[in-house]
Amino acid sequence: MSKKTVLGVLAAAIALAYAGSTWWAGNKVKSVYDNAFAELPEQTALVRVVERGYERGFLGAVSTVTLELGCPADAARPEASEDDDGEDAAPAPAKPLRLSFRDTIRHGPLAGGSLAAATIDSELRLDIKGQAEARKVFGDARPFSARTRVGFDGGYASEIALAPGQFVDEDRTRVSWQGAQLRVRVDGARTEAHYELALPGFEAADLRNGVNLKMGKLGARADLDIRHGWMLATGKSTGRLEALEFTATGRKADPDAAPARPFPAIVLQGLDAASDATIENGLYAGTATFKGTGSVGATRIDDFEMVSSMRRIDVGAYRKLAEIWTRSAAANGCIRGGKASQAALRALLDRVAPDLKTMASHGPEIGLDRLRLEIDGQHAEFSYSAAMAGVTEEDLQLPGSALMLKRGVLKADARLPVKWIEKIAGTASGDQAASPEMAALMIEQFEQQGYLKRAGDDVTSQVEFSGGQLKLIGKPVELPAK
């Protein structure tokens, strides 16, 4: 066989192999789209696929989809029954929003200049009216863009961007943002996910009442295990917000009206957030921490920290409960109108009751482990928790309310500096120089009544409900008769 013949056969083989790879990549990508849109209606009652198209070629494809966001029109307001007097009827929810997207897909193995099963460029499709409205908000910039690289194992990496913009509703509302970027990476087995979010700045204002919320640069990232689904993702997440400012001048729309008293400005700075979640022996546990500094009016907050947690959450029962809840039109506020809405919610609660009881049998607990505030070198602490404890098989036969009364445990603790009480008493009485003796007398009266205890330079209090008994600082309190 001649050299030319060999090279020809080799070139043909390479071309055939490439064509086969491209054909396989096209099938793989289409399968991903088909599965994703088939599963979407099962995930939430607030998103529906109303129109979809997929035009496939050899080297690429074009996917179009129109999504409807919000309550379904046919579930928004049921017909009133004969015994529904209409007095509790509520207005129908807002009209669903429709958004259309176009994906331009390039099949691999050399897709868009990179080695991948496919690359996908996504864009938001707008009609003539929508384009005019978008120009008012985004100018000449493209409002939304996304580029996704699909790996040969079915995993993907996406880069999504929202352009800077500003929305103004006459003299009532103004909302502006400096853009947003999101990077997401998910492996082919759908077990691991990573994301990074960047939001340079955001501001919202109620122009009529002089209320303004301003947010500085926000960044967040996470490495997650999603084998149990996004709602039960485990792993670590971190985030940082440079500043958050809330002001309310109390200005009214009527220029002749007397100005309202300004609300103290709230400024938070250097806000750090972190969360960590695990699943062991079928039980989910997670902790979240939020801390920073700031001020309220003229009062400087030297430091604050908030730690919350949940423990012993049964994974199987929680997943079922969450799926039922997110798919329910009633839970998402889509069924309105007096007794019909109440009946739908009762039916929903009856449906999730078995899963709630399954969760109760594992002794679940949620709470605020610590809220610590430090001002002028002194600090206050607050905490609370809600749990189920010692639930037996016999207990699970009880109605939900009876089970809560028998096995529910609620605890709350507080510690407050006496100096703060003196300042609060002075502010309430209009005498900023309220004497320590006045505060001491007030503390003594509450201590005699059993509401708090003096502990050096602080006062403390504790409330607990367990075993059907309410206690205040360890002493039983008689509950009102039924």
What does the block give as tokens for 305? 């920290």
What does the block give as tokens for 311? 């423990």
Dihedral pair phi/psi, residue 66, rounded to 5°: -115, 125
pLDDT tens-digit profile of 32-69?
777 777 877 777 778 888 888 888 877 778 888 888 88
| Region for 113 from its dihedrals, namely left if φ exceeds 0, alpha if ψ lies in -120 to 50, beta otherwise | left
- Give CA–CA dist 308/412, Å, rounded: 13
Q: What is the pLDDT of residue 308?
A: 97
What does the block give as tokens for 407? 């096995």
pLDDT tens-digit profile of 108-129?
676 666 677 888 889 988 888 8
Residue type, 360: A
Query: Do 233 and 211 meet the contact criterion of CB atoms below 8 Å apart?
Result: no
Residue-wise over 245-280: b if at least 16 C-beta within 10 A, else e? bbbbeebeeeeeeeeeeeeeebbbeebebebebebe
**Residue that is written with structure tokens 């003229």 in the block:** 298
What does the block give as tokens for 458? 């602080």
Asked if residue 86 has pLDDT above 80, the reply is: no
Query: Do 60 and 106 meet the contact criterion of CB atoms below 8 Å apart?
Result: yes
- Give CA–CA dist 410/384, Å, rounded: 7
What does the block give as tokens for 8? 């020809």
Dihedral pair phi/psi, residue 374, rounded to 5°: -120, 125
- Residue 11: pLDDT band (50, 70, 90) is very low
Asked if residue 279 has pLDDT above 70, the reply is: yes
DSSP code at position 326:
H
pLDDT tens-digit profile of 134-162?
888 899 888 989 998 888 888 889 999 99
Residue-wise over 206-235: b if at least 16 C-beta within 10 A, else e? ebeebbbbbbbebebebebebebeeebbbb
The domains of the chain are located at 1-163, 173-266, 395-477
Q: What is the mean pLDDT of the chain?
A: 82
- Give CA–CA dist 111/28, Å, rounded: 14
Q: What is the pLDDT of residue 358?
A: 87
pTM for this model (two decimals) = 0.81
Query: Do 238 and 276 meet the contact criterion of CB atoms below 8 Å apart?
Result: no
pLDDT tens-digit profile of 92-110?
556 788 889 998 888 767 6
**Residue that is written with structure tokens 């793989």 in the block:** 28
